[in-house]
Amino acid sequence: MTKLPFSAVVLAGGDSKRMGTNKAFLRLEGNNLIDLVFNKVNSLFAETIVVTDRVEELAYLPAKLTKDLFTGVEKNALRGIHAGLTVSSYPASFVIACDMPLFSLSLISYMSKYATKYDVVVPRHGEHFQPLFAFYNKTTLNLILKRLKEKRLKISDLYRSLCIKEISEETVKIFDPHLFSFNNINTKDDYFNLKDDYLSKHAPFGYGK
């Protein structure tokens, strides 16, 4: 399979304060979450970047590893997006968090059609955008850096100043009927629920395809 001519940026640098342990190394069916996410996106993209402050621990991954490059504010996802886009070899990158292993590759492939035509390609679930399951063009870098310097860190606030392609929930459901792509982990209950989803629904609904 020809890989998409973009980068995948996996964010694995959070403090996981609510979870109490690093989410990248949580286990799911004998694998670390970071490994599950990395292997899936790496099968689709020409380049995979992992943004992490644990470079030595993740050196076994055949990925381009980088730490946050802007450290003037508290840890946050916008810092990670900035780092990933900065080191990317491609004009646009798909950004995903390391705790979202149930995503649909076919959904990402569909979104990639718009990646060079817009600043951001982002799905919506209900009233909310999914900023950690989105394509970001390098055209966003100057604005991201400006927001970081101003300590304005809410990612979706960027969208008001950018040309975005919104992927409707109806479109998402064509590829991912149960919206599992957006499942992530913030608490131990989230972790147990995701494990249940993975065991009971991962295979029957063909996730990873």
Asked, for residue 37, whether it belongs to a domain, the answer is yes
Tens-digit pLDDT profile for residues 119-163: 999 999 999 999 999 999 999 999 999 999 999 999 999 999 999
Residue count of the chain, please give it: 209
Q: d(Cα 51, Cα 63) in Å, to the nearest integer?
A: 10
Domain count for the chain, please give it.
1
Contact 61, 98 (CB under 8 A): no
- Note down the domain range covering 186: 4-201
Asked, for residue 208, whether it belongs to a domain, the answer is no
Contact 12, 51 (CB under 8 A): yes
Residues 6 or more apart in contact with residue 1 via CB below 8 angstroms: 43
Asked, for residue 206, whether it belongs to a domain, the answer is no
Asked, for residue 30, whether it belongs to a domain, the answer is yes
Asked, for residue 157, whether it belongs to a domain, the answer is yes
* pTM of the entire predicted model: 0.91
Q: How many beta carbons lie within 10 A of that of residue 170, not counting itself? A: 8
Tens-digit pLDDT profile for residues 199-209: 665 543 344 45
166 pLDDT above the threshold of 90: yes
In Å, how far are 26, 141, 197 from 149, measured between CA atoms? 32, 12, 39
Residue 68, Cα to own-chain centre: how many angstroms? 15
Asked, for residue 207, whether it belongs to a domain, the answer is no
CATH classification of the domain holding 187: 3.90.550.10
pLDDT confidence of residue 192: 84
Asked, for residue 127, whether it belongs to a domain, the answer is yes
DSSP 161: G
Categorize the per-residue pLDDT at 7 as very low, low, confident or very high, splitting at 50, 70 and 90. Answer: very high
Categorize the per-residue pLDDT at 17 as very low, low, confident or very high, splitting at 50, 70 and 90. Answer: low
